[in-house]
Amino acid sequence: MKILFQGDSITDAGRNREDYHDLGNGYPKYAAEYIKEKYPDVDFEFIDLGIGGAQTRGLVERLQSDFIDIDPDIVSIMIGINDVWHYSDGKQWLSNELFEERYRTVLTAIKEKTHAKILMIEPFLIPGTEKDFFREDLDPKILIVRKLAREFADVYLPTDGHLASAYVGNDPLDFAADGVHPTAAGAAFIGSLYCDYVSTLIDELLDK
């Protein structure tokens, strides 16, 4: 069973770009470990094509090579924080309309040109850093991601919401010291969530 991780630096997490089976040190590594532990008798192929700095436009540009040609059974996508961050100087935000258009293009192509199940993972922001002002642009984009998930996703992982719950009784910065890039604890937390949510899709595929 082939599982493809797509996204930005949170998914890239220092992976070896010459070996797409290398999962770096982020949530894909932890997710794969948890999945293999839960399904010891299943032959999985995990592929990480996350790219640091990636935005939705990059996913559109790489649709053929990094989605369709891979032909995964399950594809997960965590994208959006750079569609905010890279436009934050002077708050010259990327329009929500263009963000939705690009993301919709990616999801439509996956639906029409692959057999993959889609796990959409919402972007998130950890409070307590100089990036807190990103919220004014990120929150509307999270709502767009949730809307698109209702149209395209087979499973949706509301990362931002789960993290908000995890902060209760904990220091949010333990999950991502700079507000964006997860620590080992944050990556393990997201990886555990990933395993929980993707299990629905794995079970469906195994039952076929």
- In order of start, what are the domains of the chain with their CATH numbers? 2-207 (3.40.50.1110)
Q: Interior CA angle at 56 toward 110 and 198, to 5°? A: 50
CB atoms within 10 A of CB 183: 15
Residue with tokens 């949706």: 156
Instruction: Supply the mean pLDDT for the chain.
Output: 95
What the block records as the tokens of 62 is 């790489």
DSSP class of residue 71? -
Note the pTM of the prediction, 2 decimals: 0.95
For 76-108, write each residue's pLDDT tens digit: 999 999 999 888 888 888 899 999 999 999 999
For 113-149, write each residue's pLDDT tens digit: 999 999 999 999 999 999 999 999 999 999 999 999 9
Which residues share a beta bridge with 77? Answer: 6, 120
CB atoms within 10 A of CB 79: 27
CB atoms within 10 A of CB 111: 13
Amino acid in position 126: I
What SS3 class is residue 86? coil
Residue 54: is its pLDDT beyond 90?
yes
Q: What are the Cα distances from residue 167, in Å, to 2, 11, 127, 136, 181?
A: 33, 22, 9, 20, 16
